[in-house]
Amino acid sequence: MVSEKTISRLTNYQTLLRLQQAQGRTHLFSHQLADLARVTPAQVRRDLMVIGYTGNPRTGYHVGDLQDSLMQFFAFSTGIPTALVGVGSLGRALLSYFMSGRSNIRILAAFDNDPGKTGRVLSGCRIHPMNRLRETLAETTVSCALVTVPGGEAQKVTDALVGAGVHGIVNFAPVRLKVPPTVFVENLDVTSSIEKAAFFARNYSLKTQEETNHE
Amino acid sequence: MVSEKTISRLTNYQTLLRLQQAQGRTHLFSHQLADLARVTPAQVRRDLMVIGYTGNPRTGYHVGDLQDSLMQFFAFSTGIPTALVGVGSLGRALLSYFMSGRSNIRILAAFDNDPGKTGRVLSGCRIHPMNRLRETLAETTVSCALVTVPGGEAQKVTDALVGAGVHGIVNFAPVRLKVPPTVFVENLDVTSSIEKAAFFARNYSLKTQEETNHE
DNA sequence: TTCACGCTGTGACAAAATTCACAGCTAGGA
DNA sequence: TCCTAGCTGTGAATTTTGTCACAGCGTGAA
Ligand SMILES: NC(=O)c1ccc[n+]([C@@H]2O[C@H](COP(=O)([O-])OP(=O)(O)OC[C@H]3O[C@@H](n4cnc5c(N)ncnc54)[C@H](O)[C@@H]3O)[C@@H](O)[C@H]2O)c1
Ligand SMILES: NC(=O)c1ccc[n+]([C@@H]2O[C@H](COP(=O)([O-])OP(=O)(O)OC[C@H]3O[C@@H](n4cnc5c(N)ncnc54)[C@H](O)[C@@H]3O)[C@@H](O)[C@H]2O)c1
């Protein structure tokens, strides 16, 4: 089984390679990809082992071939089908971003329990009521959903999604969801991330001041 | 030096404790906090070692005292002062969320380079032009900033922030920023997180199907 | 007061993640 | 044709992270 961290880095390499290809580059070495991704060259080589792609000692990695290998490994050549639950301020931002086609992620359906929102179309995506979740998802190949409802509602919504056959959840609510072992949860807790950054910011800030004083 | 992961868990404990206190609980054991945080009891005890708080074998941890210790460790009793750069769809969502006071994070100033947006007040927060960034931040204690500008602009904005004395960056743009070693960057790459969740979702999905077939 | 239960705090251990370091290869130059 | 410089792929070492397991303690019961 391949680790979460490795998967994160591999998706990052994918993004970086797309950019490099757009700039006309056809080959690169592990240390160059490493610089772009802000990791070590050894890390890059180690990561690429898991997808089976093998480079050439003299010319390095072939950008197109490596992209193909990554594509095949991730098996998302046609884009990633997802659903979104909770069309509030965050949900709307995500809709407008991902419906504009700036990435390989496709939001195929949105859901909300507010009758004032359901039935309408936002950024080109129809908003369905919650009681139509199961049947709407049954018509699609969605296996991953974005949860942007208030914390108190997130578990309920998650249970509904799991019941509808979703195996991946990206959770923006500041709660830890309970799911069966066949469901993967990625928590994107903005508040917690800011707290973390603020903590280290203060540390670095103090350290910098100290050093200034010692001079 | 205490690790990033430990800090993340400690902030999570803080959130959970606030909730428990609101429900009137005065004491809890490591295994109870562990259940709430979805970690092991040993992990909780190990984490609490770093903040120096020590519980009682018979009564466990005192919610209020533990909160005080955490507060003191994080030193953010008055809220976390931050700035936001890039008032687009994501920036607006963050403004409306954090200006509503639902957390201990305070956005003291917002910045944008679009003259159509600067000068206005959104969700109670004034939007300043970029050329006023340094002097505006000089008047505050902000040491942590949220970056919600397009990927191509993120590095430029980061450089300006670092120049203005910011030591913590929460980066929502899908690029890896280059910063001096005295600056901490937390990347919140939504696209990458969705890709990760989708990958594991497909794996779990396939595994579930296999097991169903084997019955 | 004494005892026993069930917790905490932590040294020792285990697992996971990363880096080191080097054999082996390969294209370009002599 | 045969070197050679400088890369890749990977076993081994190292570092980081998490868990185990148990001594020691505090409380309530007797
Ligand atoms: N907006 C932000 O920038 C931000 C920042 C950090 C965290 N979050 C988290 O993201 C989540 C959403 O935040 P928001 O600001 O968009 O909230 P919001 O209140 O603006 O939107 C929530 C939406 O969910 C819908 N909803 C509520 N209960 C539902 C249910 N049971 N089923 C389906 N839909 C339901 C509501 O109708 C509403 O449209 C929250 O958990 C919040 O803590 C948001
Ligand atoms: N909106 C989302 O849900 C979402 C999802 C994933 C990632 N992101 C990332 O978040 C970032 C912002 O996304 P968005 O959808 O809000 O974009 P947006 O285009 O709606 O907003 C960007 C804002 O930044 C401002 N800006 C541009 N250049 C600037 C500069 N040099 N200095 C100051 N301000 C500047 C623009 O005026 C605009 O207000 C992007 O990097 C995007 O990739 C957003």
Q: How many CB pairs under 8 A join A and B?
A: 180
C-alpha–C-alpha distance, residues B196 and B191, integer Å: 9
pLDDT tens-digit readout, B155-205: 999 999 999 999 999 999 999 999 999 999 999 999 999 999 999 999 998
> What is the pLDDT averaged over residues B29-56?
97
What fold characterizes domain A4-74? Arc Repressor Mutant, subunit A (1.10.10)
Ligand showing the shortest atom-to-Cα distance for residue B150: 2
Structure tokens at B186: 């937390």
pLDDT the model gives residue B59: 96
Give burial (CB, 10 Å; 0-12/13-18/19+) of B35: middle
C-alpha–C-alpha distance, residues B211 and B167, integer Å: 50
Residues of chain B with CATH 3.40.50.720: 80-192
C-alpha–C-alpha distance, residues A87 and A69, integer Å: 36
Which has the closest alpha carbon to B167: A191, A210, A203? A203
Residue of minimum CA distance from atom 21 in ligand 2: B88
Characterize A107-137 residue by residue with b for buried, 16 or more Cβ atoms within 10 angstroms of its Cβ, and e for exposed: bbbbbbbeeebbeeebbebebbebeebeebb
pLDDT the model gives residue B76: 85
For ligand 1, whether the C-beta of A79 sits within 6 Å is no
Strand partners, A80: A105
Structure tokens at B40: 């092991």
Q: How far apart are the first and last CA of chain B?
A: 51
pLDDT tens-digit readout, A25-74: 999 999 999 999 999 999 999 999 999 999 999 999 999 999 999 999 99
C-alpha–C-alpha distance, residues A196 and A198, integer Å: 5
DSSP-based three-state secondary structure for A141 = coil
Kindly report the average pLDDT of chain A as a whole number: 95
pLDDT the model gives residue A212: 66
* Ligand 2 centre distance from Cα of residue A49 (Å): 35
pLDDT the model gives residue A7: 98
Residues of chain A with CATH 1.10.10.10: 4-74
Kindly report the average pLDDT of chain B as a whole number: 95
Residues sharing a CB contact under 8 Å with residue A208, sequence separation 6 or more, in sequence order: B167, B182
DSSP-based three-state secondary structure for B46 = helix
Cβ-defined contact of B80 to A204 (cutoff 8 Å): no
pLDDT the model gives residue A207: 77
Residues B197 and B213: beta-carbon distance below 8 Å: no
C-alpha–C-alpha distance, residues A88 and B91, integer Å: 14
C-alpha–C-alpha distance, residues B83 and B161, integer Å: 10
Q: Which CATH number fits domain B80-192: 3.40.980.10, 3.40.50.720, 3.30.450.20, 3.40.50.970?
A: 3.40.50.720
> What is the pLDDT averaged over residues B77-102?
96
pLDDT the model gives residue A215: 56
pLDDT the model gives residue A52: 96
Q: What are phi and psi of B68, to 5 degrees?
A: -60, -45
For ligand 1, whether the C-beta of B93 sits within 6 Å is yes
- Alpha-carbon B30 to chain mean position: 24
For the CA of A62 and the C1' of C27, the distance in angstroms is 15
DSSP A26-41: -EE-HHHHHHHHTS-H
Among all chains, which residue has been given the structure tokens 């899908």?
B174
Q: How far apart are the first and last CA of chain A?
A: 51
pLDDT the model gives residue B47: 98
Structure tokens at B154: 């993120």
C-alpha–C-alpha distance, residues B51 and B66, integer Å: 9
pLDDT tens-digit readout, A160-212: 999 999 999 999 999 999 999 999 999 999 999 999 999 999 999 887 776 66
Structure tokens at B112: 């944008």
Which has the closest alpha carbon to B86: B98, B73, B95, B99? B95
Model-level pTM? 0.95
pLDDT tens-digit readout, A71-122: 999 998 889 999 999 999 999 999 999 999 989 999 999 999 999 999 999 9
Among all chains, which residue has been given the structure tokens 């680790």?
A3
Q: What sign results for the dihedral spanned by CA atoms B3, B4, B9, B13?
A: positive
* Ligand 2 centre distance from Cα of residue B88 (Å): 5
Cβ-defined contact of A176 to B204 (cutoff 8 Å): no
pLDDT the model gives residue B151: 96
Strand partners, A168: A144, A184
Structure tokens at A11: 């998706």
